[in-house]
Structures are given as structure tokens and as C-alpha cells.
Amino acid sequence: EKSGYASFMLKEIAEQPKAVADTLLGRIDGSGTLSLDEVRIPAAVLREVDKVVVVACGTAFHAGLIAKYAIEHWTRIPCEVELASEFRYRDPILDQQTLVVAISQSGETMDTLMALRHAREQGARVLAICNTNGSTIPRESDAVLYTHAGPEVAVASTKAFLTQLVACYLVALYLGQVRGTKYGDEIGDVVRDLSGISGVVERVLETMDPVRELARSLAHKNTVLFLGRHVGHPVALEGALKLKELAYMHAEGFAAGELKHGPIALIEEDLPVVVVVPSPRGRSVLHDKIVSNIQEIRARGARTVVIAEEGDEAVVPYADHLVRIPATPTLLQPLVATVPLQVFACELATARGNEVDQPRNLAKSVTVE
Ligand code: M6R
């Protein structure tokens, strides 16, 4: 069943272009209009939504953090993202105009299920983003947008994450379409870019050999830090989670803007720090700020692993290792920037002799609180 791959995780990483394409299939027509028939919440109800709350756990939570940037930018509806396990004990403020988005690969995560039940009791509408047909979370939701990643066997989520991102973008764009928000032109461009993104992910996968080599060379390290900004911040969190789960290493993701507020004290000679760099086009202020962050940490001895867009020359002088990713619109960058981090964690864990499909102490689906 591993089709020649050494692990399910490697197979699932390789399946990402198809998973992404399958999740988009039939949901965008030739004119760039989204048709999400399965979202049975009537357009009139979606037009009245005044708040979106995303609830999820683990990797699915990271997809939710990225969704917030897309939803708020394209729809101007306020969006909160919360760990499902925290949400229901917080007495959250919800009503009929709240759209709760519950993201779950398995559809059986108890914390997420409890959060959605809590939301429905308050009258909120719940839209599930889920990879498992007929599982509990979609069954208990008002509507479901299925991700079409196919079965994910490895405990560490990879292809499901990319398809969750696609689904989140589709929800954000659909809300924008239904509500006629003023980002009309931009939405057209993004829909076009999203339609072609599977081929871009494919290209990233073809260039992963240096990442594998780098991962093997860092297998003896105790700590790796990850930095990102804007949508790169959740990508950094995801990179750190993958490394914890698979390599049993201390790994932390930080918002690069927080460096001076504490984490920079951790930097010491030869500490590997992976930095996800935003596109120099678009939000160039963020790009320039992160380049100075890289300079600062390198001056303090960090071994910098820089993930940056092709053609971004500003990072070159400060990168001990440079990983190139194709240029994408800012909000879509997580679809390509996450891939090297998955490969990195998988290879590093393998080099440490770990069983990547079945990491210690973890279960694929957490059905207890
Ligand atoms: O099935 P779910 O998406 O609800 O699972 C949520 C988390 O348990 C899951 O993403 C977990 O963090 C993964 N092991 C991450 O690789």
C-alpha cells in the first residue's frame, strides 16, 4: 500500500499535488465562479454572517490560523481562531449570525466535536471542513466542505493540511463572492492562481533533495527554531509541530516580530533557525522586516535556513542554507512554504532512526478529551 515509498508519510507528501487538485475539482468553473453546492447554508444566511470563528486542533488549527488572514482580507468579516479544547470552556460569545468553521481531517476529534456542539447550542451555524466522509463532525454540522486528500495513514498530517488550506481559501472566496465584497478583481486573480497551484506544489517537490541533505546534517541537534510573519507564522508553527511529532526534538515556532520581545535570547552559536520569508512583491514591508530579523539572528550565531521566493536576492547574503520556493500570491504561500518543512521533519526523523508513520505516544485520531 505504500506504493514503493519507504513510509506512508513520504507517499502522502508526494500525493499533495493530486490532493490539492482533487479538492479544487468541480468547485471553480471556467469563469472563475465558485460553486460550493455542498455548503447548504443559504446565501442569504451567509450574507448576514457578522463573525467567523474557526475551531480545530493541532495541524488543523494551523490551517485555521491561515484562514483568518484570507477571510478577513477577502470578506472583511472579523474572524477568530481558537483551539477547540480552549474554546468550549471559555464561554464564547456566539449567535445565529456567527459562522463556526470546524476543521478536522478525521472528523472524530473529540475536542473539535465538543466545540461544535457547544457552538450549535448557542445558535451558531457550523460548517465542517473534513477529510472523512460520513464521520461524526460533518454529521453534526449544518454543512460540510469535504477535502479530497484521500485516506491519510501517517499520524503526522501532510496532504490533509494542504487540502484544509485549499478548503479554507474556497470558503473565504465563496463568502466574498456571496457577499459581493469589493475585492472582486483580486479574487479573480487569486482564483486563477489557486486553480494552478497543484502544479506549483509539484515543482516544489521536485527540488527537495537539498532539504533532505540539510535535514540529515542537522539530525544530531537538540533544538530547531522556526520564524515567520503574517501567514508565514502559522507555517512556522506547523514546521515546529512536525519536528516535535516526528523527530522528538525541541522545536518552536515564533512570529518573527516577537524576536526582540524574548525569543532572541535563545539564539546561540550554530542554532538552526528556519525562516519563512514573505514575498518581496506585495507586502514588501514584511519582507524587509524579516530580512533584518535574519540579519539579527545570524549576527548572534544562528545557522539560518531561509525559505524564500525564487528571485528574492535580498536574503542571499544572510542565508547559510537557502531553500527556493516558486513565487505565489502572499496569502497562498503556505501551500508551497509548508512542503519543505514536511520533508525536513520526515527526513530528520528518519535519520534519527524514528518510525515516521507511527510516532511514539501519538494516535491518528484523538477521540478523547
Ligand atoms: O483529525 P483532526 O484533523 O481533527 O486532528 C487534529 C490533530 O490531532 C492533528 O492535526 C494532529 O495535530 C496531527 N498529528 C498533526 O500532524
Complex prediction ipTM: 0.98
Q: How far apart are CA 112 and CA 165, in angstroms?
A: 17
Report the separation in Å between the CA atom of 335 and the middle of ligand 1, taken as the mean of its atom positions. 17
How much of the chain, in percent, has pLDDT values that exceed 90?
85
Q: Are 87 and 115 in contact (CB under 8 A)?
A: yes
Strand order in the sheet with 250-255: 250-255, 223-228, 272-276, 303-309, 321-325
Q: How far does residue 109's CA lie from ligand 1's centre (Å)?
A: 8
**Pocket-testing residue among 7, 59, 338, ligand 1, by greatest number of atoms within 8 A of Cβ:** 59
Segment 120-173, tens digit of pLDDT: 999 999 999 999 999 999 999 999 999 999 999 999 999 999 999 999 999 999
Greater confidence (119 vs 179) lies with 119
Secondary structure of residue 141 in the 3-state scheme: coil
Nearest CA to ligand 1 atom 11: 58
pLDDT band at 363 (very low <50, low <70, confident <90, very high): confident
How far from the centroid of its chain's Cα atoms is residue 322's Cα? 21
Confidence band of 37 (pLDDT split at 50, 70, 90): confident
Q: How far apart are CA 47 and CA 63, in angstroms?
A: 24
The count of C-alpha atoms lying within 13 angstroms of the C-alpha of 155, restricted to the half-sphere facing its C-beta, is 19
The residue to which cell 446565501 is assigned? 43
pLDDT at 186 over 80: no
CA angle 168, 357, 273 (to 5 degrees): 65
The mean pLDDT of 22-51, rounded to a whole number, is 90
pLDDT tens across 208-229, in order?
A: 999 999 999 999 999 999 999 9
Model pLDDT, residue 182? 63
Q: Is 157 in the pocket of ligand 1 (CB under 6 A)?
A: yes
Q: Which residue has the cell 524576536?
A: 259
Q: What is the mean pLDDT of residues 267-285?
A: 92
> Which pLDDT score is estimated for 181?
74
Residue 88 CA to its chain's centroid (Å): 23
CA distance 100 to 103: 10
Strand-pair partners of 227: 254, 275
Nine-digit cell at 166?
485549499
| pTM, rounded to two decimals | 0.97
What is the DSSP pairing of strand 143-146 with strand 272-276?
A: unpaired
User: What amino acid occupies position 108?
Assistant: E
189 Cα to the center of ligand 1, angstroms: 31
Q: Is 97 in the pocket of ligand 1 (CB under 6 A)?
A: no
Q: What is the pLDDT of residue 184?
A: 58
* Ligand 1 neighbourhood includes 354 CB (under 6 angstroms): no
The reply to whether ligand 1 has any atom less than 6 angstroms from the CB of 155 is yes
Mean pLDDT, the chain, rounded, equals 95
- Please compute the mean of the pLDDT values over residues 35-45 and round it to a whole number: 86
